[in-house]
Amino acid sequence: MNAPAKIARLPSVCPHDCPSACALEVEVIDGQRIGRVYGAEAQTYTAGVICTKVARYAERIHHPDRLLHPLKRSGPKGAGAFTRISWDEALDTIAARFLAVEREFGAEAVWPYQYAGTMGRVHRDGINRLRHAKKYSGFLGTICINPAWTGFIAGAGCMMGPDPREMAKSDCVVIWGTNPVSTQVNVMTHATRARKERGAKIVVIDIYRNDTMKQADLAICLRPGTDGAFACAVMHVLFRDGLADRAYLARYTDAPEELEAHLRSRDPAWAASITGLSPAEIEAFARLVGTTKRSYFRLGYGFSRSRNGAVNMHAAACIAAVTGAWQHEGGGAFHNNAAIYHWKPTVIEGLDIADPSVRVLDQSRIGPILCGDDDALQGGPPVKAMLIQNTNPVCVAPDQARVKQGFAREDLFVAVHEQFMTETAALADIVLPATMFMEHDDIYSGGGHQYISLGPKLIDPPGECRPNHDVICALAARVGARHPGFSMSARELIDRTLRDSGWGGIEKLDAETWLDCQPPFEAAHHLKGFGYADGKFRFKPDWPKVPFPNAGTKGPWQMMPALPDHWDVIEEADAAHPFRLATSPARSFLNSTFNETPSSRAREGRPSVMIHPKDAAALGIEDGGRVVLGNRRGEVRLHAKLFEGVQRGVLIAEGLWPNEAFADGNGINTLTGADSIAPFGGAAFHDNRVWVRAG
Ligand SMILES: Nc1nc2c(c(=O)[nH]1)N[C@H]1C(S)=C(S)[C@@H](COP(=O)(O)OP(=O)(O)OC[C@H]3O[C@@H](n4cnc5c(=O)[nH]c(N)nc54)[C@H](O)[C@@H]3O)O[C@H]1N2
Ligand SMILES: Nc1nc2c(c(=O)[nH]1)N[C@H]1C(S)=C(S)[C@@H](COP(=O)(O)OP(=O)(O)OC[C@H]3O[C@@H](n4cnc5c(=O)[nH]c(N)nc54)[C@H](O)[C@@H]3O)O[C@H]1N2
Ligand code: SF4
Ligand SMILES: [Mo]
């Protein structure tokens, strides 16, 4: 008879690219397999709640399609033929090609390319140490955070805000441009606690009736890319009706009189014509936040993914400064807590050997870069070799037709280190199998909360999977890259980084699993002043000088409005493209991660687009019918979902399905653009003009 399985419940952290960075408890069966995954009750932000995708992680980590061995391409690019090889052969091949490219075209022709498939600092960012040691091309990670962070920092001067757990002590939680029921479930834990315990109102500001808006007390459904107009009219009413906190404005802000004068012409009627809202809806929201001092503005990423996204984020953040909400517990504006951790990742990333004269290429512009666009390449050499970790650009990057065209180049050598045969891996020359988070050690900090957490190795990896750090070190040895970080273990790097950053060593985390880094109330609420040297919140930011680490201005930054406004640079509908398309996240996928797990695919159904029933009727489109969406970048075939929760003229296509799930293999990013959002870059995923027809 078999002995009964031994089940241990061990601590871990969700490594995925999600502001919640949940503290987990994982059932480990016989020290080899995992069972159910739970949210840790004792971690006060996670509070026992996690999303269903991660609760079912056994399905992903023990998936039959996981990559288990190194592979080399054995047919034409993209044909899908690979042969198994040894790790030594794989690493030797990559090193030989990188050295050959360096000799012929210079080190900048090699472009290591990574993103946030894991948010662990060792395995996400260690690739930068190799980059800096070899002077390979730099990497500007614009795809997600740049417009949102720049917009927020433009006002507050730094990236932090009131303790996210204070949402539970708020009287009004404004959930703006984020869909937390799908994308960061823990916001709802704290917001609904405020509603239950204090009768707080939950307001949701979005462009369709998503799962979060369905739970709102006040729902504001505006046209995509018009949040700046909405925010201006709200502030107009606050000044007009005596709801602005003038003492606070005088002490804590840069230009309140100029702002007030500027807003006089931006009244609710003006904003109504831009946003598609009624003046009464704008007045009602302004009165609510103007008379509720404890209003917590939880500002998400979604509304920054437009060509005017940084301006819109800044405009929204300004409202909390006009009402003075920042002074009160449960009040203020929050986007992310990055600044509270004061990370010093010098050893992980090799920042001590970085050469600022090396060119830095923009992640979002990978399509133009690989297609040889001189401007995107900054006049430097073509990209001839890449190592890719933690990202799947052949699905997630904008201007997808050019991305694919670039990866199809026979003269481009690509090595992809992955957990699955993603669409990017399928176009590689060498594919390397990667561990998952429970198979290696790393540390994490939460953007949406205030904890640093340790995620230790819990089980052995399957097959020959190796962690990112091991692969980087093995390559470094072969290409002659030198730095002390290459001879340290993951745990040594964690320990060193914690110490350098002022958080003690790894023993403390071993003992406590997580560290609450919440700054004192006065600091989080900026009661001693905002992040700028003069301590003032900026209504009038100097955009090119906003203190966000960047590699130079991008997009039409010279045309940015001086004060909050509706900045009219979005892809407005026109006669040939009468619809505006947003590509919002799906609940059961996380970017393209989980689009390989059967239960996530079953829940999402098939690639589809939401359209208002009246628009559908006018075009002869039926519920569930085939439709084609198109613009100058390409065409996408999917199915219609008739839905009254979108404004007329707006389309929503949720989720990053694999390209092959679409009728002719063209995924949704075929329609999105790789032009940069001002002032520091980023992709306008929710800002696309398209035509639509039955098909
Ligand atoms: N299930 C799931 N969870 C995820 C992800 C996922 O793909 N799926 N992605 C992860 C990642 S990488 C990130 S960055 C976060 C992102 O999570 P969020 O901060 O939630 O940002 P988005 O998902 O881009 O969009 C959020 C909402 O903004 C809306 N929106 C789009 N344009 C506008 C606009 O102009 N104005 C307003 N007011 N709203 C607009 C979208 O329709 C969507 O409902 O989520 C993370 N979590
Ligand atoms: N249309 C549209 N496109 C979007 C968005 C949108 O809203 N709409 N959102 C954008 C946003 S916000 C983001 S952040 C990007 C995200 O885009 P990506 O960063 O590409 O995110 P994923 O698609 O989840 O890909 C992460 C990959 O990393 C792999 N991975 C995970 N952990 C490890 C590891 O430890 N080692 C290695 N080697 N690999 C690992 C996973 O298997 C997965 O394939 O997508 C962007 N693209
Ligand atoms: S909510 Fe986000 S951080 Fe939490 S388990 Fe799900 S994906 Fe991970
Ligand atoms: Mo993201």
d(CA 33, CA 431): 25
Task: Give the pLDDT mean for 318-337.
Answer: 98
d(CA 38, CA 26): 6
Q: Which ligand is nearest to the CA of 309?
A: 1
Phi, psi (5° rounding) for residue 182?
-95, -40
Query: Exposed, middle or buried by CB within 10 Å (0-12, 13-18, 19+), for 497?
Result: buried
Which of 516, 543, 559 lies at the terminal end of a domain, its last residue?
516
Is residue 320 within 8 Å of 333, Cβ to Cβ? yes
Is residue 304 within 8 Å of 313, Cβ to Cβ? yes
Query: pLDDT-derived band of residue 259, with 50, 70 and 90 as boundaries?
Result: very high
d(CA 292, CA 323): 9
Per-residue pLDDT at 2? 72
Residue 647 maps to which CATH number? 2.40.40.20
- For ligand 3, is residue 231 a contact (CB within 6 Å)? no
Q: Are residues 229 and 290 in the same domain?
A: yes
Say if residue 622's pLDDT is above 70: yes
Per-residue pLDDT at 1? 55
pLDDT above 90 covers a percentage of the chain that reads 98
Mutate to test the pocket of ligand 3, among 54, 59, 449, 587 (most ligand atoms within 8 A of CB): 54
Full-prediction pTM beyond 0.85? yes
Place of tokens 């598609």: 276
Per-residue pLDDT at 550? 77
Q: Are residues 309 and 184 in the same domain?
A: yes
- For ligand 1, is residue 177 a contact (CB within 6 Å)? yes
Closest approach atom of ligand 1 to CA 183: 3
For residue 284, which of 232, 219, 376 has the smallest C-alpha distance? Answer: 219
Which of 39, 61, 83 lies at the terminal end of a domain, its last residue?
61
Query: Exposed, middle or buried by CB within 10 Å (0-12, 13-18, 19+), for 671?
Result: buried
Q: Are residues 211 and 82 in the same domain?
A: no
Closest approach atom of ligand 1 to CA 656: 7
Q: Are residues 327 and 387 in the same domain?
A: no
CA-to-CA separations, 327 to 143, 160, 202, 241, in angstroms, rounded: 33, 15, 20, 20
d(CA 320, CA 620): 45
The DSSP code sequence of 137-175 is PEEE--TTTHHHHHHHHHHHSSS--S-GGGGGG-SEEEE
**Total Cβ atoms within 10 A of residue 36:** 13
For ligand 1, the distance from its centroid to the CA atom of residue 182, given in whole angstroms, is: 9
Residue 97 maps to which CATH number? 3.40.50.740
For ligand 4, the distance from its centroid to the CA atom of residue 684, given in whole angstroms, is: 12
Domain that holds residue 36: 7-61
Phi, psi (5° rounding) for residue 672?
-90, 155
Identify the three-state secondary structure at position 113.
strand
Residues having CB closer than 6 A to ligand 2 are 17, 115-118, 123, 143-144, 389-392, 396, 417-420, 422, 434, 468, 583, 585, 590-593, 656, 668-669, 672, 685
Residue closest by Cα to atom 5 of ligand 3 = 50
557 domain residue, yes or no: no
Q: Are residues 465 and 428 in the same domain?
A: yes
Question: Which amino acid would we find at residue 335?
Answer: H
Is residue 156 within 8 Å of 317, Cβ to Cβ? yes
Residue closest by Cα to atom 5 of ligand 1 = 590
- For ligand 3, is residue 21 a contact (CB within 6 Å)? yes
436 domain residue, yes or no: yes
Residue range 48-76, pLDDT digits in tens: 999 999 999 999 999 999 999 999 999 99
Q: Are residues 458 and 410 in the same domain?
A: yes
- For ligand 1, is residue 541 a contact (CB within 6 Å)? no
Say if residue 222's pLDDT is above 60: yes
Is residue 106 within 8 Å of 117, Cβ to Cβ? no
Which of 474, 489, 516 lies at the terminal end of a domain, its last residue?
516
- For ligand 3, is residue 14 a contact (CB within 6 Å)? yes
For ligand 4, the distance from its centroid to the CA atom of residue 390, given in whole angstroms, is: 13
Is residue 557 within 8 Å of 679, Cβ to Cβ? yes
Residue closest by Cα to atom 4 of ligand 3 = 22
d(CA 678, CA 695): 36
Q: Are residues 259 and 118 in the same domain?
A: no
Residue 212 maps to which CATH number? 3.40.228.10
Closest approach atom of ligand 3 to CA 15: 8
The token pair at 315 is: 């405009």
CA-to-CA separations, 467 to 127, 475, 671, in angstroms, rounded: 12, 13, 34
Q: Are residues 373 and 490 in the same domain?
A: yes
Q: Are residues 120 and 166 in the same domain?
A: no
d(CA 228, CA 232): 6
Per-residue pLDDT at 34? 97
d(CA 119, CA 210): 26
The token pair at 357 is: 């004269």
Q: Are residues 490 and 509 in the same domain?
A: yes
Q: Which ligand is nearest to the CA of 391?
A: 2
- For ligand 1, is residue 650 a contact (CB within 6 Å)? no
558 domain residue, yes or no: no
For ligand 3, the distance from its centroid to the CA atom of residue 225, given in whole angstroms, is: 27
For ligand 2, the distance from its centroid to the CA atom of residue 14, given in whole angstroms, is: 14
423 domain residue, yes or no: yes
Residue range 415-439, pLDDT digits in tens: 999 999 999 999 999 999 999 999 9
- For ligand 1, is residue 210 a contact (CB within 6 Å)? yes
The token pair at 636 is: 């996408």
Query: pLDDT-derived band of residue 519, with 50, 70 and 90 as boundaries?
Result: very high
**Total Cβ atoms within 10 A of residue 60:** 20
Per-residue pLDDT at 4? 83
Query: Exposed, middle or buried by CB within 10 Å (0-12, 13-18, 19+), for 626?
Result: middle
529 domain residue, yes or no: no
Q: Which ligand is nearest to the CA of 305?
A: 1
Mutate to test the pocket of ligand 1, among 142, 144, 178 (most ligand atoms within 8 A of CB): 178
d(CA 441, CA 489): 9
Residue range 572-602, pLDDT digits in tens: 999 999 999 999 999 999 999 999 999 999 9
For ligand 4, the distance from its centroid to the CA atom of residue 504, given in whole angstroms, is: 30
Question: Which amino acid would we find at residue 314?
Answer: H
531 domain residue, yes or no: no
351 domain residue, yes or no: no
Question: Between these two residues, 79 and 616, which has the higher pLDDT value?
Answer: 616
Q: Are residues 366 and 309 in the same domain?
A: no
- For ligand 1, is residue 182 a contact (CB within 6 Å)? yes
Q: Are residues 288 and 303 in the same domain?
A: yes
Question: Between these two residues, 162 and 79, which has the higher pLDDT value?
Answer: 162
Residue 26 maps to which CATH number? 2.20.25
**Half-sphere CA count of 438, side-chain side, radius 13 A:** 28
For ligand 1, the distance from its centroid to the CA atom of residue 158, given in whole angstroms, is: 22
Q: Which ligand is nearest to the CA of 227?
A: 1
Residue range 32-48, pLDDT digits in tens: 999 999 999 999 999 99
Question: Which amino acid would we find at residue 104?
Answer: E
d(CA 457, CA 438): 5
For ligand 3, the distance from its centroid to the CA atom of residue 291, given in whole angstroms, is: 34
For ligand 3, the distance from its centroid to the CA atom of residue 22, given in whole angstroms, is: 6
For ligand 3, the distance from its centroid to the CA atom of residue 254, given in whole angstroms, is: 38
308 domain residue, yes or no: yes
Mutate to test the pocket of ligand 2, among 591, 600, 631, 685 (most ligand atoms within 8 A of CB): 591
How many folded domains does the chain comprise? 4
Per-residue pLDDT at 551? 77
Radius of gyration of the chain from its Cα atoms, rounded to whole angstroms: 25
